[in-house]
Amino acid sequence: MIPPEASKRKNWFIFFQEINHIWKQGSEIQVVECDMKIQKAYAYKGKMPGLASGGGGTSFEAPLKYANAEYQPDALIYFTDGFGPPPETWCRCPILWLISKEGATLEKMARFPGRKVKMNV
């Protein structure tokens, strides 16, 4: 799950380097670009896409509902700056929140479900 506010070129590149490493290990990866709603969803095939589309507000609800109803993944890696209210939607799978260096503090994300990791690059 990738909100466009997190799509600054450096962060985007770093995030997709990590996604590419996971994909090379044989994982199926579905990329979902979102802000207040889902803008685009597609299967990752080993190439870094252009910067995320959209950009305007943040809601974590739509991608979690999508994961529950449409895709049903083993886990979510949610790349975000973390600025937005915690989701109210319960997710059926584990969530790893990957927070950009400039993003919210881990303390501000304490009410978010799942694990949180702050990028330091």
Q: Where are the chain's structural domains?
A: 4-91
pLDDT at 6: 47
Nearest to 89 by CA among 51, 44, 34: 34
Share the mean pLDDT of the chain. 86
Question: Once rounded to an integer, what is the mean pLDDT over residues 60-85?
Answer: 92
Tens digits of residue pLDDT in 6-38: 446 677 788 888 899 999 999 999 999 888 888
Are 85 and 61 contacting, i.e. CB atoms less than 8 angstroms apart?
Answer: no
Are 92 and 72 contacting, i.e. CB atoms less than 8 angstroms apart?
Answer: yes
Question: Once rounded to an integer, what is the mean pLDDT over residues 102-118?
Answer: 95
pLDDT at 18: 87
Terminal alpha carbon distance of the chain:
20
Question: Rounded to two decimals, what is the model's pTM?
Answer: 0.83
